[in-house]
Amino acid sequence: MADIPHVPKVIKDTTKPGTNKAVERKEFSNLLPSYLRTDTNKKVLSTILDFLMSNGNTRQYSQYYGRAKGGYHTATQDEIANLLNEWQKNYSFSPGWFSQDPGTKEVQLSLTQDDAYTELTRHGVTAKDWNDVFEHSAYSWSPPINHDKFINYEQYYWINWALVLDIPALMGGGTVTGEITANVTTREGVSVALETGMGLKNLGNFHFKVSGVGDSIKLDERQAADIITRIGTSREQHEADYITIGLGATNGNPWSRSNYWMHEDTLKAMEIGCAWSASVTYAADDIVSRDGEFRIAKQIGGNINQDPLSDNTLTYWGPGIKVLDPGARATRPIIEFNKDIEIYNHGFDHAAEVGHITSASIADIVGKSSYSYKSGADDVSFGNGQSVLFINSTTDINNKMYTIGGVGSAITLTGEKTIYNWTISTHTQAGHWHLGNKNLYGFSLSL
């Protein structure tokens, strides 16, 4: 600050600060007629009106205005203006806050430091230091979960049966994979915008689960072990899982593959997409919607196109399943971790799916008409088109996976694929294993 101490001092009376002109005293009595200029009138007017007519009597002070803490204030020299309160002394001229309309750039609200503190005191703040005001044991935390499923859980339904849209032109997902958004046309000729959680089926009866809509669409192929067709009161595959992982995980972990939560808007979109059409002939296990319900075509020895609402509907169709079934609705928050979150003792990529794991030798299987083995207490038999992984077997086939054929005549093993350093990541109900590959830590893929 200045080298001269800021000590208040009285200067000459002036009308304007900084001038040296002597003060001219004006007497109101001089404006009166001479016969009224009596001593009595002069005394009265000099005490009342003379002060109003005379020039101002000002005094000039030199004081410090600004922030006392962290500013340029020198306590031994600078006298703080005595009209400020304690908060103003500490934060005077400090930056405040303002809000601005992003469109018009118009300032809508501005607050100085002391005004902000005054507002906070109305809410119980007593500290006089910003560090103390904002110090708190609580903090914001954003866990790696789907926040919508956690907050708006009542909008989600556990659909763990083979609810799919029939998309004849869907060939392995090549036309939609990697897109941000995409539309597909159903068997009924309805255009449907894909949504995460939808189930799809193509002309080859391959089932897919949609994920990544809005980012990069991914279609995960589903084996029979991952889906179930429910007709009537048949037991469902899984109970609702309130702690799970998002669909489309790269490592194909069991939580992601068995995540059956579906948003109500997705269900409504699927209802429109598979609405029953009189011009379509339906085969067994085909799914249609009619009057707020999904129905599954029965195995009756031929194709059908009967209206599910007709009198003989149960001859051709299973019982109706409500589109928004209250029994399938979530009853508490769903904790769904991000799909590619790192998992302890799991891989980063999905290695393969296998139907059988055995330690048998080639001689025990190849050329035989059938082959079965014990899996726990169950007898499990080979089937055509299934896969088998050999472990702890002879070196020529150990850790190798094959496709089974010739069951019923002479079994063949084709399509050899070596699984290095494999590990089982999950075992599904229908006898399918999902395999990963061990890395320095966790599990990874190397096919």
- Arithmetic mean of pLDDT, 113-126: 83
Q: What is the pLDDT of residue 156?
A: 97
Q: What is the pLDDT of residue 428?
A: 38
Q: 321-353 burial by CB neighbour count: b if 16+ within 10 A, else e?
A: bebeeeebebeeebbbbebbeebeebbbebbbb
308 near 321, Cβ under 8 Å?
A: no
Q: What is the pLDDT of residue 1?
A: 44
Report d(CA 447, CA 439) in Å as an integer: 13
Among residues 339, 371, 173, 309, the alpha carbon closest in space to that of 246 is found at: 339
- Arithmetic mean of pLDDT, 20-45: 73
- Arithmetic mean of pLDDT, 171-189: 84
Model confidence at 365: pLDDT above 70: yes
346 near 437, Cβ under 8 Å?
A: no
Model confidence at 204: pLDDT above 70: yes
Q: What is the pLDDT of residue 61?
A: 58
Q: What is the pLDDT of residue 220?
A: 84
Q: What is the pLDDT of residue 442?
A: 27
pLDDT band at 375 (very low <50, low <70, confident <90, very high): confident
pLDDT band at 34 (very low <50, low <70, confident <90, very high): confident
Higher-scoring residue by pLDDT: 167, 65: 167
pLDDT tens column, 284-341: 888 999 999 999 888 776 667 788 887 667 788 888 899 999 999 999 999 999 998 9
Q: What is the pLDDT of residue 292?
A: 93
Beta bridge partners of 437: 422, 444
SS3 207: strand
Q: What is the pLDDT of residue 431?
A: 42
pLDDT band at 150 (very low <50, low <70, confident <90, very high): very high
Model confidence at 444: pLDDT above 70: no
Beta-carbon count within 10 A of 409 CB: 11
Model confidence at 172: pLDDT above 70: no
Report d(CA 359, CA 129) in Å as an integer: 73
Enumerate the domain spans of the chain. Answer: 147-337, 352-444
Higher-scoring residue by pLDDT: 183, 140: 183
pLDDT band at 58 (very low <50, low <70, confident <90, very high): low
Model confidence at 49: pLDDT above 70: yes
Among residues 359, 367, 150, the alpha carbon closest in space to that of 261 is found at: 150
Model confidence at 8: pLDDT above 80: no
- Arithmetic mean of pLDDT, 366-390: 85
Least confident of 230-239, 347-356, 382-391: 230-239
Model confidence at 16: pLDDT above 80: no
Least confident of 93-107, 122-136, 213-227, 390-404: 213-227
> What mean pLDDT value characterizes the chain?
77
pLDDT band at 228 (very low <50, low <70, confident <90, very high): very low
Among residues 331, 149, 326, 161, the alpha carbon closest in space to that of 260 is found at: 161
Q: What is the pLDDT of residue 304?
A: 74
Higher-scoring residue by pLDDT: 143, 129: 143
pLDDT band at 134 (very low <50, low <70, confident <90, very high): confident
